[in-house]
Amino acid sequence: MFPTSQKPCQPSKPKRGRHASKVACNGNPNPRNRRDILIGLGGLYGATTLSGNSTGSAFGAPVSPPDPTNCVPPLLPGENDVNCCPPSPIVDFEFPSHKRLRHRRPAQWVDDDYLNKYKEAVRLMRALPLDDPRNFMQQAKIHCAYCHNGYRQKGFPDHNLQVHGNWLFAPFHRWYLYFHERILGSLIGDPTFALPFWNWDNPPGMAMPAIYTDENSPLYDPFRNALHQPPVIVDLANEANILDPSKQIVNNEITMFRHVVIEGISPSLFLGKPYYAGCEPNNPGAGSLEKGPHNNVHRWTGDPTQPHRIDMGYLAWAARDPIFFAHHSNVDRIWNIWKTIPGGFRRDFNDDDWLESSFLFYDENKNLVRVKIKDCLDSRKLGYDYEYVDDTPWLNVRPRPKYAVPLPLPFPLPQPLPFPLTLNSIQRTTVKRPKKEESWSEVEKAEVLVMEVEYDMTEDVKFDVFINDQGDDEIGPEDSEFAGSFMTLAHSHGHQSKRTTTSLRLAITDLLKDLHALDDESIAVTLAPRYGNKPVTIKGIKIKLVPLVEYVNV
């Protein structure tokens, strides 16, 4: 059962033509006029700011771009004087005029001419003066400021601004790569230049791209896992097992199917939970795109001999490695692919609070540009697209039950565990399923396993979740009994509590069908910690029957 003292962050009021009901994010039944609230946010809606009292009446609204003059230098390990904060002034984004699309290619397919251009562009970017916002390290600091709580929400100085763990994740990084790519192209005088993508979802591209491993290249970073150099196959499930390459490829394909097809049946489950201006926490819940392949490739690439597995393994430093941009280019590509998969409700949010949320980035002319999420939803409109990869096998590879089915459990269902629960060993509990409704349909609704998780942000944390696993701890990502994982990267800030609470949500309707458990009143849920030296607290577990179109409330 969930504690009643913490109210979820929700939008402010109903919007015409939207599916979900809306209430004040602090539960106030009598919100003030919405226009007054929006004007007070500054940025898009005006320059006046609201009180910073985080306990007062704060209502959901789009996240405004941060105030660059109110950026807090983050405290990073060994570099307490790092400043990720940009100067001003600010201009509004205008769509580019382009005669032809820039095509991002798989990194394993690039030719020598392209590679020479790419290396020269990064070399020139690294050679820019350190106070130039286009400088490579200054570009890396943009990610640092947004992902490491360097900014406060505009109008709410007691609230951090965070682009991870919520629905800002995918659009923020799309904009980030867009401007980085344009700067690179401008430095070599080639407006058609496009970043490559690390094609880790496709067998020929699953190894670390060789173009990033030359120690004499500006694309090289010394802080990578020495055991994961090519031709080692990436582990998209981050199970830390050494597998035969062919076995690892199969596991990766099944893992992609799980994160994108099974779990990604609605915008909230795939892109992340809503995050509104003036609302806490800043980590309401990552979508399967972020918590799955995104987080796992980051950690797999980072150097385990360094604190926090820098560079790629630590969010504040990740963009110091040029491979970051190839990794996120593929994350961005998977977002495009997701919208083409039939079934579920695989569409971008149509909530104005998401569409109107905005960020600040530097362009190739050193302008600080204000952008909105609604302007980045079509990558072709931004002037780029992805080269077609003929082989995307994971779209048709699904996990199978480890055991012959139907197979009765060899033991009674475990006793329900008391919550909150400190997870320092394998734990099993029984969770009741919601009663079926007469109108229940898999097309309209899905069962989602929901957990409230408290963890320490200064450490990488992972635990796996199994359903009806027969008491066998050797369940793997290739098995239907494997429901998914909770996995976070080290992420902390010197000005906030090191422990935070978020939600893990796993769509389980398909799994229950595969396990012949759709008629069961309860299921067995197993939690298996994998790594993390500081305790994880599970505050509650339940199953929700979620209407897919009412995605804001998922």
pLDDT of residue 397: 87
Among 362, 380, 396, the domain-final residue is: 396
CA distance 505 to 231: 34
pLDDT of residue 15: 46
- Which strands, in side-by-side order, build the sheet including 90-92? 90-92, 368-372, 358-362
Strand, coil or helix: 157:
strand
Q: Is 298 annotated as a binding residue?
A: yes
Q: Which amino acid is at 185?
A: G
CA distance 424 to 47: 49
Q: Which residues pair with 429 in a beta bridge?
A: 525
Range of the domain at 436: 421-547
φ/ψ of residue 48, rounded to 5: -75, 145
In this structure, the answer to whether residues 226 and 327 fall within a common structural domain is yes
CA distance 71 to 153: 10
| Residue 248 lies inside a defined structural domain of this protein | yes
In this structure, the answer to whether residues 188 and 247 fall within a common structural domain is yes
Compute the Cα dihedral for 419, 425, 430, 434 and give only its sign.
positive
Q: Is 327 annotated as a binding residue?
A: no
- Which pTM value belongs to this model? 0.84
In this structure, the answer to whether residues 285 and 369 fall within a common structural domain is yes
| Residue 26 lies inside a defined structural domain of this protein | no
In this structure, the answer to whether residues 373 and 431 fall within a common structural domain is no
3-state helix, strand, coil in the chain (%, to 5): 25, 20, 55
Q: Give the C-alpha distances (Å, rounded to integers) separating 61 from 10, 22, 23, 355, 477.
A: 9, 11, 11, 11, 38
| Residue 473 lies inside a defined structural domain of this protein | yes
In this structure, the answer to whether residues 384 and 443 fall within a common structural domain is no
Q: Is 103 annotated as a binding residue?
A: no
| Residue 345 lies inside a defined structural domain of this protein | yes
Is the bond leading into 203 cis (omega within 30 degrees of zero)? no
In this structure, the answer to whether residues 283 and 316 fall within a common structural domain is yes
Check if the beta carbon of residue 520 is closer than 8 Å to that of residue 277: no
| Residue 260 lies inside a defined structural domain of this protein | yes
In this structure, the answer to whether residues 358 and 439 fall within a common structural domain is no
Q: Is 294 annotated as a binding residue?
A: yes
In this structure, the answer to whether residues 333 and 389 fall within a common structural domain is yes
In this structure, the answer to whether residues 347 and 426 fall within a common structural domain is no
Tokens of residue 93, six digits: 């984004």
Check if the beta carbon of residue 300 is closer than 8 Å to that of residue 30: no
Check if the beta carbon of residue 481 is closer than 8 Å to that of residue 512: no
pLDDT of residue 57: 34
| Residue 3 lies inside a defined structural domain of this protein | no
Q: Is 493 annotated as a binding residue?
A: no
* Nearest-5° Cα angle at 232, 258 to 286: 35
| Residue 296 lies inside a defined structural domain of this protein | yes
| Residue 74 lies inside a defined structural domain of this protein | no
Digitized pLDDT (tens) for each residue of the chain, 554 residues in all: 433 333 344 565 544 434 333 323 333 333 333 222 222 222 222 222 222 333 333 345 787 767 665 665 555 555 544 556 555 567 777 787 777 899 999 999 999 999 999 999 999 999 999 989 999 999 999 998 888 767 878 878 788 888 999 999 999 999 999 999 999 999 999 999 999 999 999 999 999 999 999 999 999 999 999 999 999 999 999 877 777 899 999 999 999 999 999 999 999 999 999 998 887 666 889 999 999 999 999 999 999 999 889 999 998 899 999 999 999 999 999 999 999 998 878 999 999 999 999 999 999 999 999 999 999 999 999 999 999 887 688 998 888 888 765 555 555 788 889 999 999 999 999 999 988 765 556 557 789 999 999 998 878 899 999 999 877 667 788 888 899 999 988 776 544 557 888 999 999 998 999 888 988 999 999 999 988 888 899 999 999 988 777 544 44
pLDDT of residue 415: 86
Among 356, 379, 396, the domain-final residue is: 396
pLDDT of residue 429: 94
Number of domains in the chain: 2
In this structure, the answer to whether residues 465 and 376 fall within a common structural domain is no
The alpha helices in 128-271, defined as continuous H runs, are: 136-147, 169-187, 245-256, 267-271
The CATH number covering residue 177 comes to 1.10.1280.10
Q: Is 516 annotated as a binding residue?
A: no
Which residue has 């009741």 as its token pair? 432
Tokens of residue 108, six digits: 């394993």
Check if the beta carbon of residue 128 is closer than 8 Å to that of residue 113: no
In this structure, the answer to whether residues 469 and 380 fall within a common structural domain is no
In this structure, the answer to whether residues 192 and 259 fall within a common structural domain is yes
